[in-house]
Amino acid sequence: MSSLEIKNLHVSIGAKEIIKGLTLTIGAGEVHALMGPNGTGKSTLSKAIAGHPDYTVTQGDVLLDGKSILKMEPDERARAGIFLAFQYPSEIPGVSIANFIRSAVQAKLGEGEELDASGYYKRLYEKMDLLKIDRKFTSRAVNDGFSGGEKKRCEILQMAMLAPKFALMDETDSGLDIDALRIVSEGVNQLRGPGLGILLITHYQRLLDYIVPDKVHVMWDGRIVREGDKSLALELEAKGYDWVKKEFATA
Amino acid sequence: MPAPSPTLPARAIGGFTAEAFAAHLESQAGAPAWWLERKRAAYATFAALPLPARTDERWRFSTVQGIDLGSCVPATGAAPLPAVLPVKAAASLVFVNNRLVSRSAPSAELESRGVVVTTISEALRRHEPLLKAHFMAQAQRLGSEKFASLHIAFLADGAFIHIPRGVELSEPILVTHAVSGADAAIFPHTLVVADENSRAAVVDSFVSIPGTGADSRQLAVGANDLYAGHGSRLAYAAVQDWSRETLSLQLNASIARRDARIQSLNIHLGGRQSRHESLSELQAPGAYSEMLALTVASGTQEFDQRTHQMHQAPNTKSDLLYKNALLDSSRTIFSGLIVVDPDAQKTDAYQSNRNLVLSENAEANSLPGLEIQANDVRCTHGATTTRIDPEQEFYLLSRGIPRAAAHKLLVTAFFEEVLARLEDAALHDAILGLIRTKLDGAALA
């Protein structure tokens, strides 16, 4: 069984420590929601796990299936099964979606293995149908001039094509209207299964109406301060983040 | 005619001695008198002019000591056929060492409508007035008078293309110029006359034939003349992929007449040191010139590009976009000038040089310029030098794409803005293929 274990993780940007000892384990197929006010380190956690060079892990470890990934390059981590769905995906004019995803799928194959082009397109179109994405989309440049909803659906499409073991979904609901939120959530729910563990990072409870988490973690000032089931998210929604701040600011 | 200067060092003449020129003239026996006279005058100019000097503003930033004739002499002899671009062509010509070695004629239908795709030597016999009117018709302004003269003096043959009034070609005409042999010099030439309301695309491909001295020094001094008549549409692409030991000087000249549209795209991949001069004259109202170039510079290559956008009539438009990707210890130079004549009101001119620098040791120089004598114009120019965007890079890495492949994708993406302007999909893919091949051979990450 797969697992993603985050153990007493400390992460800094420059000299500033953002994550201050965070421990969290996601089992195979589990969906964990990570909630908390802005600036508490949620995005930092996802970028650090994915290997962004601006984030330095100063202490602790991240284990994928029992093996540390911290010495791996970002592309190696991705090929090992980590996927980061970006809050703000980069726009890459001049690279088509089809070419981009094909390069990523090709990279996952072993040395000397050739991608079967017709099989690739068949799979791509299947996933696009699943996410209600027009086929013309594949010739557009990656995220270039996309609406918020298109960008997020494009992230989910990549996730579907790369079939990671664990997905870190950073504020996937931000920038989405209610219709787009529903489509994206349906896409995630279709991918949900024993092979995919998800860390769902969100500020708002509304996403959790569509993607129901197995566990909810509340983050404050670089640490997890409360854990529970989906009812914790509802409690948080009712009481607001001021409740967390009041309870833990002095802790 | 300038008299040969006795004070010039021998290296200013190299292997292009008076004896070599006399031998060349003998090979041209039977050509019209004006042609031979032009050659004699050109040789005298070549022999009188010094090699470029560092102090010449038009050679600023250029490594002038690399502009060396060495011991190159006009290429001769047979060689294996060169590879040609995988493009479906309406007609094609293949020159090796300045001589035609292979051709495919236009269809009978196109020939019956007067389309001519032939050699300059045949044009001297059958299309003399047209050749005389257009061959090297524009004065050199950008610094290479000596080399333009060398080209005229020693040119043995080249491509002559005439698209008559109202004829539209749906496929490009492909001309391949190849060189083989150590210390070989070639003088490729392509002349295109597109008459009123015609439409055509012409592709020049410059290659060294592998295994035949391409690892030794070679010299290519080429030129082209592009003429777009009233209301015509002429697309020209040149793919320069000479050997890494070649010194290349290429002179690109175009004329756009009333409501004509010329697109010129120069792809620079090969050569040790390459100087490219592009002169575009917008001679009548409504003329539009699109000047595009892409360069992949690697190793210690130097690419030096000089341009003039010359607005000589009102309501003319030019759009220049030169993009360079620099790897290793390569250098590029871009120097461009928009010239607007006093009566060229409502000129719309754009000039942009964008450099993507992938190595700490590479050097991109940019000298954009304007010279405007009219008062109601819109002229914009700019130059940028950027590196790989770290967020774009991380995005690609986070999808499992290794760093070198990610950089390759980002470099081709940088070029796509220009390549997307090509109408011919097969040509787009052929050029992209050559760019990828060059990037595969380079250290990208």
CA–CA separation, A206 and A186 (whole Å): 14
Is B441 part of a structural domain of the chain?
A: no
Above 50 in pLDDT, residue A225?
yes
Say what the pLDDT of residue A68 is.
98
Tell me if B350 sits within 8 A of B320, measured CB to CB: yes
Q: Which of A222, A218, A191 is nearest to A205 (CA)?
A: A218
Minimum-distance CB partner of B392 among A78, A90, A158 = A90
pLDDT (tens digit per residue) in A79-134:
999 999 999 999 999 999 999 999 999 999 877 788 898 999 999 999 999 888 89
Tell me if A107 sits within 8 A of B402, measured CB to CB: yes
pLDDT (tens digit per residue) in B20-34:
999 999 999 999 999
pLDDT (tens digit per residue) in B389-404:
999 999 999 999 999 9
Say what the pLDDT of residue B1 is.
46
Is B17 part of a structural domain of the chain?
A: no
Work out the burial of residue B122: count CB atoms within 10 Å of its CB; fewer than 13 is exposed, 13-18 middle, 19 or more buried: middle
As given in the structure block, the two tokens for residue B354 are 């964008």
Where in the sequence is the domain holding B123, given as residue range(s)? 75-386
Residues of A in contact with B401 (CB under 8 A): 75, 103-104, 107
Please give the residue of chain A at the shortest CA–CA distance from B404.
A75
Residue A95 C-alpha, separation from nearest chain B C-alpha, in angstroms: 5
Is B31 part of a structural domain of the chain?
A: no
Tell me if B280 sits within 8 A of B311, measured CB to CB: no
B interface residues, A as partner, C-beta within 8 Å: 389-392, 394-403, 405-406, 409-410, 412-417
Residues of B in contact with A89 (CB under 8 A): 395
Domain A3-90+164-248 sits in CATH 3.40.50.300? yes
Taking CB atoms and an 8 Å limit, are A78 and B391 in contact across chains? no
Residue B413 C-alpha, separation from nearest chain A C-alpha, in angstroms: 4
Above 70 in pLDDT, residue A249?
no
Above 60 in pLDDT, residue A238?
yes
Place of tokens 């090929």: A79
Is B407 part of a structural domain of the chain?
A: no
Above 60 in pLDDT, residue A13?
yes
Secondary structure tally for chain A: helices H, strands E: 9, 12
Q: Which of B318, B311, B319 is nearest to B345 (CA)?
A: B311
Residues of A in contact with B414 (CB under 8 A): 94
Look up residue B108 and give its amino acid.
A
ipTM of the complex: 0.96
- Determine contact: A85 vs chain B, CB below 8 A: no
Residues of B in contact with A53 (CB under 8 A): 390, 394
Taking CB atoms and an 8 Å limit, are B406 and A75 in contact across chains? yes
Residue ranges of A 179-238 with Cβ closer than 8 A to chain B: none
Secondary structure tally for chain B: helices H, strands E: 9, 21
Work out the burial of residue A113: count CB atoms within 10 Å of its CB; fewer than 13 is exposed, 13-18 middle, 19 or more buried: exposed
In the predicted model, residues of chain B with pLDDT beneath 70 are: 1-6, 213-214, 445
Please give the residue of chain B at the shortest CA–CA distance from A99.
B409
pLDDT (tens digit per residue) in A175-210:
888 988 998 999 999 999 999 999 999 988 889 999
Q: How many domains does chain B have?
A: 1
Strand order from edge to edge, sheet including B91-96: B99-104, B91-96, B173-179, B199-208, B233-241, B261-268, B288-297, B317-326, B348-357, B378-386
Say what the pLDDT of residue B214 is.
64
